[in-house]
Amino acid sequence: MSIPLLGYIYFGFSFVPVVVGLFRYRKMSTPMRLLTALCALAVVNVVTSLILGRMKINNQLIANVYVPVELILITSVYYLSTVAGRSKRVLLGSASLFVFVWLVDVTFFEPLTEMNSTMAAISRLFLIAQSFMMITVVSRESAVQMSKSAVFWVASGVILYSTGTFIVAGLGNRLLEIDVSLFVVAWHINWMLLIMANLLYTKGMLCEYQT
């Protein structure tokens, strides 16, 4: 199946936070530098998966490994953006729990070479919960308005991104069973949310208050 125009538009927008992050790299805090690395890795992941797919080579290994790597990097961004000990423990504990569950799943249930929409969907729930917690933490800790805090924009972007991916990963098979057109609509919604998420990440990178 050919990629719709919106898919290419999303791909173009995925470069925006990478370019901005690299341009402002020396001025940014460690969390925002990690976010830049994550955005760059996301681009590499998409490009590599697309190339392998075009070559009729199984790309599920890359997609499955990217899930815990992404969660660990986003957790690290949050972890380094807060001084609250309790929040740090929750972040570390949730990331450790997910990685443990992921390792058990890929070892005993879902091989890395097969599509694992379950773990992808579960990771979204972890990230959404972490992001809402971070917005709450920012509202308590930040010395400036939330709109001037980088983490607020990053967490908002993660929530949008995770919501779209959860719809596709968690409900994709069901939508295909009902009507293929519904699956296509879900992907379009996902791409739109991804575009918005990349813009929010970029906004966070441009904030003077980097935590």
pLDDT in tens, 30-85: 999 999 999 999 999 999 999 998 899 999 999 999 999 999 999 999 999 988 88
Query: For 156-194, how does the pLDDT look when each residue is reduced to its tens digit (9 = 90+)?
Result: 999 999 998 898 887 777 777 788 888 888 889 999 999
Distance set, CA 104 to CA 94, 107, 115, 144, 190 (Å): 15, 5, 16, 42, 28
Q: What is the pLDDT of residue 147?
A: 83
pLDDT at 199 over 60: yes
Could you give the CA distance from residue 83 to residue 89 in angstroms, rounded to a whole number?
11
Decide: residue 123, CB within 10 A, 0-12 exposed, 13-18 middle, 19+ buried: buried
121 pLDDT above the threshold of 70: yes
Beta strands in 54-189 (DSSP E): none
User: Which pLDDT value is given to residue 210?
Assistant: 66
